[in-house]
Amino acid sequence: MDRADPAEDTWRAALSALLDGEDPRVAMGDLMQHLSECASCSTWLEHAAMVNTGIRTLPVVQPALGESIVNRVDVRMCACRTGGACLCTDCQCGPGCTCQTQSSVTAS
Q: What percent of the chain has pLDDT over 90?
A: 36
Confirm if 78 and 88 have CB atoms less than 8 A apart.
yes
Domain map (residue ranges) of the chain: 7-56, 63-107
Looking at residue 33, what is its pLDDT? 95
Looking at residue 58, what is its pLDDT? 79
Return the number of other C-beta atoms located less than 10 Å from residue 1's C-beta.
11
Lowest-confidence pick of 4-8, 9-13, 22-26: 4-8
Section 77-83 average pLDDT: 68
Residue 12 has pLDDT above 70, yes or no: yes
Taking each helix axis from N to C terminus, what angle separates 28-37 and 7-19, rounded to the nearest 10 degrees? Answer: 120
CA distances (Å), origin 23, targets 19, 20, 41, 53, 102: 10, 9, 18, 19, 56
CA distances (Å), origin 68, targets 18, 28, 88, 98: 36, 46, 13, 21
- Enter the pTM of the model: 0.51
